[in-house]
A and B are shown apart, each in its own frame.
Chain A
Amino acid sequence: MKTTGTRSLILWILGLGFLLGLGVFLYGLATQGGNWALQPFNKHITGESRSTGEGRVLDRNGVVLAESKNGGRAYGGDELTRRAMLHTVGDTSGYISTGVQYNFRSQLSGYNFITGLTSPTGKTNGSDIRLTLDSGLCRLARERLGSRDGAAAVYNYKTGELLCMVSTPDYDPTNPPKDLNTDKTGKYSGVYLNKVLSSTFTPGSTFKVVTAAAAIENIPDLDSRTWNCNGSVTINGNKITDMYAYGTLSFKNALAKSSNVAFSQIAIEVGADKMTAMAEKLGFNRSFSLDGIPTAKSVYKVKGSQSNELGWSGVGQYTDLANPFQMLVAMGAVANGGTPVMPYMIQSITTPAGARLALGLPVKTGSSVAGDQMLGADTAARLANYLRYNVTHEYGDSLFPGLEVCAKTGTAQVTGKGDNCWMVGFSSREDTPLAFVVIVENSHTGSIASAGRIASALMTAAAKIK
């Protein structure tokens, strides 16, 4: 019997295997449980189950943008609103990785290790998320973009509230096209991309804002200087051209006319190091985050480049790339005396009444957070004046009646396609502290006719938002 007893120790091998396996499972559950639970096929999240369902996503006015209803995720508003809000809110399957529904899925579903997706009261634990965005304003932006690809964003540069963020192409999340994920022709290419956050474009003349800031800080007699703009200048054997021969231009007129001849020479005069320093202060070569969602990096790289390349870089060509969100923050900095208030879009996350015994109290509230200083106050003020002059003397103040808008347009050539038309700017009035960025891709009209008109409509409407 003694031997049998000793040999029965073989069960311990099995037992240890059991404990090891159980440990692996429980460790996974403790560390990955949230990710495991928060899957698009989980019926407790989509609301197909009786007792659970995700919280709602609301706009600043309480308009329901997404909710769990009748065993699925329902998106609010008319088709244009749903399309306009698609990239901000996100889709049901989690393909739009910058969407609120993906990034805040644990808050929306209310998952925690103790009670999983349920709560003692049986009500969904999922929090409601209220955004700072105005779905009406987004709808307007979406309407004005029409069938064109592009992006638009507006924010309050005093409070940081993001009011509008729209990206095209898109689709209606309530009736997604059947071939959305099976199509091989590329007709839906970019539908899952929020271009405001995740794309970069050649900035073209909007980059002259950066070159101008560098000039203000590095060329002492800037306002008394003039540039001879005869249509082109040859640098290092390479011809940099303008649309027209403008003749002799002062600095502010060179910016208003957007003379490549003048600005390429200014960039070369400032030099690669100081150009790079200014670009980086204004947000190039780094990533920002919108409520924890990272943005694409804008790119300014002139290290080791030839002088003609440095010249082109100063007018937003060469290898320059700009992310719309970064341009928006830069505009916010110029408008706000050199230091931007960082945009945010989560106004509040509120647990439903009863859950966690907190009776509908907000657990998180968005607030104004200042970013790093980008420009000195003097530089910002002078730059704002030049940008104001652009509007009054070149673009026409009637685009933004009564808003005292400062702005810069840009038309970037893209090989093999129409131009990328930009407009960036802000209202300098105390009572309408709004900054904007608009980009229209593959455009064959000028930037005022494309991006400018959208910006005009957005700013006029945004000024009325309280």
Chain B
Amino acid sequence: MNIPEELLSIFLFAVRIAVPLIALVVAARSFSSLRRGKRREEPVMVLEDMSTHEVIPVLYWENSIGRSRSCDIVLRDQTASRAHAVLMRRESGWLISDTNSKAGTFVNGKKAGQKTPVLPGDVIAMGSTSLMLKRTADVGGLPPVKPRRGRSASPAGLLWTVSFLQLLLCVQVCFASGKLDIVPFIPFGLLFFTEWIFYFISIKMLGHVSFELETLGFLLSGIGVMQIAGADVKSTYTQIAAMAAGIVLFLFLLWFVGDLDRAMKWRVAVGALAILLFAANLLLAKERNGARNWIVLGPVTVQPSEFIKIAFILVGASTLDRLQTYKNLTGFIGFSAVCMGALFLMKDFGTACIFFVMFLIIAFMRSGSLRTISLSCSVAVLGAFLILKFKPYVAERFAAWGHVWQHVNDSGGYQQVRVLSYSASGGLFGLGIGRGSLKTVFAGTSDLAFGMLCEEQGIVLAVIILMILFALALYSRSDATRSRSTLYSISACTAAGTLLFQTCLHVFGVTDVLPLTGVTLPFISLGGSSMVSVWGMLALIKASDERTYAARRRRRR
């Protein structure tokens, strides 16, 4: 092929402008589709007070009932407990669980324990209040249910757009050296098939109705894979394999948490497994680059802490009836302490920070206790002091923080100044995949992935990627009351919060906004375990989408 060099350059420049625009369109369409797919806060059922005939709307899938003003259904009844019971909807129908109330809960006069079925027309008695469960349609005077606005984006159309974007990235890699090289089409082909096979399994075989989060996952993973291809095509094979494994984990987790009883029952086992994994890590790992967070299993190296992140969330999250019954956090705090201790022994302080933030989000969402949070933070500050005192290489990075330009050639600022310098070199649209120089710096494709992103694909795309991760957190938060259980809400918020926090640590660490390094950028960085883990996180976010389990119900009927 003999293309004039200038023409090729102008073409590739146009491609680099097109990529962020397409990414922006995909992200905007996906998030607006997620928004549209969200149920509005309309009553699912109603409760009718038997003495006053007042109609109380039941707005959520899990509803706390009690005297406390913070309850979803407030009883103006001095004989009722502050947190009396939880009325929830499961696949089998409506259930009520008494949450250690003084006066007890009765359904049609019979004392209710845990998960007592309630049918429309049944009367629930709590204290001196009696409420009858009724279908919304059977009660007059409620505003009519409005149909959902507009149509969701076509999942196939969005995925085609992502595939096209990946083709554009692939073309950049092919011409990275100035001459056509067709080897990068191998990772492109692998990506393409993995994505579309997963699409058919998801939509056609499993009957999922939504595909927005998966599309966003592919958008980000594809950008990461192609960036790695620009540095070394061989590394992409493990990265794509990890993505495929991540998808398997994704489907497994969706199935696993699909049954809330199962998810709750297995919590202790999952916790024990996590601690065992940590123990195995500590016993088997050899120190590598200052940390002992790797174990070698035959041909692959695995970072167990990445998987324990998922386990940690599964152990921490809980359904509302259980939250209301057992209010204290002691068990979870103990489990978290063991995890943090193990991470300290591994000298993996970046991951310890991430676990700490996971702990904060879960602890706060479960208890709402500012006291626990501030106490934990004080302990963390103490821990940070100890690290600085006893781990000189961490202290060195802290000392260079804010004035890395005086540490151009020592470990305090070596990576940061190069990231800043090469990020600025790329301008808004980058130098082109494979044409950067940051990839030659140690751990360029993993620990410095954000710098590579800026250098090779430009600031615009880098910011769009960061905003997608930010928007994921906002979406999870806004969806917190619409999900089918607090277990989903808590795990989705924690997962999205963790992804965002990890993004912060990575981006701000390498750009010297924060004094940290050595954390991967979700979806983009080279790293198998990390890739598998972020897809697991994505599954937890997806589980909180009400539609995720809707299709299954429809199918079973």
Contact = CB atoms under 8 A, between A and B. Distances in A.
Q: Does chain A bind chain B?
A: yes
Contacts of A5: 480-481, 489
A3 interface: yes
A185 B486 CA distance: 73
A11 B420 contact: no
Nearest to B501: A14
Contacts of B420: 28, 36
Contact of A116 (B320, B431, B508): B431
Interface string B19-38: 00000000000000000000
B220 interface: no
A44 B437 contact: yes
B427 A121 contact: no
B428 A122 contact: no
| Most-contacted residue by chain A among B5, B424, B481 (CB, 10 A) | B424
Contacts of A10: 360-361, 364-365, 493, 497
Contacts of A34: 424
A115 B507 contact: no
Given A24-B513, A114-B428, A4 B320 contact: yes
| Central interface residue in B427, B490, B497, by most chain A CB within 10 Å | B427
A33 interface: yes
A36 B421 contact: yes
B466 interface: yes
A8 B459 contact: no
Interface string A19-61: 1011011101100111011010111100011111000000000
Contacts of B361: 10-11
Contacts of B489: 1, 4-5, 8
Nearest to B73: A2
Interface string B60-99: 1111100000111000000000000000000000000000
B365 A4 contact: yes
Nearest to A118: B431
A243 interface: no
Given A15-B474, A114-B428, A3 B6 contact: no
A4 to B, nearest CB: 5
A126 to B, nearest CB: 12
A116 B427 contact: yes
B463 A39 contact: no
Given A4-B365, A10-B365, A15 B6 contact: no
A401 to B, nearest CB: 54
B129 interface: no
A95 interface: no
B12 to A, nearest CB: 7
Given A5-B480, A18-B470, A37-B421, A118 B508 contact: no
A123 interface: yes
B480 A22 contact: no
B473 interface: yes
Contact of A49 (B71, B435, B473): B435
Contacts of B500: 11, 14-15, 18
Nearest to A113: B427
Contacts of A44: 422, 425, 431, 437
B426 interface: yes
A118 B427 contact: yes
Contacts of B463: 22, 26
B56 interface: no
A113 B428 contact: yes
A41 B365 contact: no
Contact of A14 (B60, B357, B435): B357
Nearest to A24: B513
B507 A8 contact: no
B513 A2 contact: no
A7 interface: yes
A8 B427 contact: no
Given A1-B489, A113-B427, A22 B466 contact: yes
Contacts of B477: 8-9, 11-12
B8 interface: yes
Contacts of A115: 427-429
Contacts of A1: 59-64, 72, 320, 480-481, 486, 489
Contacts of B415: none
Contacts of B437: 42-44, 48-49
A37 B10 contact: no
Contacts of B59: 1
B504 A117 contact: no
A44 B436 CA distance: 8
B383 interface: no
Interface residues of A, number: 51
A376 interface: no
Contacts of B64: 1-3
Nearest to A33: B424
B513 A21 contact: yes
A112 interface: yes
B318 to A, nearest CB: 10
A365 B426 CA distance: 29
B291 interface: no
A42 B421 contact: yes
Contact of B459 (A29, A41, A42): A29
A29 B423 contact: yes
A173 interface: no
A122 B8 contact: yes
B424 A37 contact: yes
A17 B514 CA distance: 11
A7 B427 contact: no
A34 B427 CA distance: 10
Interface in B422-467: 422-432, 435, 437, 440, 459, 463, 466
A123 B10 CA distance: 10
Nearest to B373: A10
B435 A3 contact: no
A402 interface: no
A33 B419 CA distance: 12
Contacts of A4: 320, 365, 480-481, 486, 489-490
A41 B408 CA distance: 9
A62 interface: no
A20 to B, nearest CB: 9
B293 interface: no
A354 interface: yes
A24 B401 CA distance: 14
B507 A51 contact: no
B511 interface: yes
Given A17-B504, A122-B5, A2 B72 contact: yes
B542 interface: no
Contacts of B309: none
B476 interface: yes
Nearest to B481: A5
B364 A7 contact: yes
Interface in B214-265: none
Q: Considering residues B320, B430, B459, which has the most beta carbons from chain A within 10 angstroms of its beta carbon?
A: B459
A146 interface: no
Contacts of A28: 420, 511
Nearest to A112: B427
A135 B497 CA distance: 63
A11 B474 contact: yes
Given A14-B501, A28-B511, A44-B437, 7 more contacts: A1-B61, A5-B480, A8-B489, A10-B493, A25-B511, A36-B417, A113-B427
Interface of A: 1-5, 7-12, 14-15, 17-19, 21-22, 24-26, 28-29, 32-34, 36-37, 39, 41-44, 48-52, 111-118, 120-123, 354
30 contacts: A2-B60, A4-B481, A4-B486, A5-B480, A7-B365, A8-B480, A10-B364, A11-B497, A14-B357, A14-B473, A14-B500, A15-B470, A18-B500, A18-B504, A19-B470, A21-B508, A22-B507, A24-B513, A29-B459, A36-B420, A42-B421, A42-B437, A49-B435, A111-B425, A114-B429, A120-B13, A121-B9, A121-B10, A121-B13, A123-B9
The 9 A-B pairs with the shortest beta carbon distances in the complex, nearest first, are A116-B427, A122-B9, A5-B481, A37-B424, A1-B60, A8-B480, A36-B424, A33-B424, A120-B13
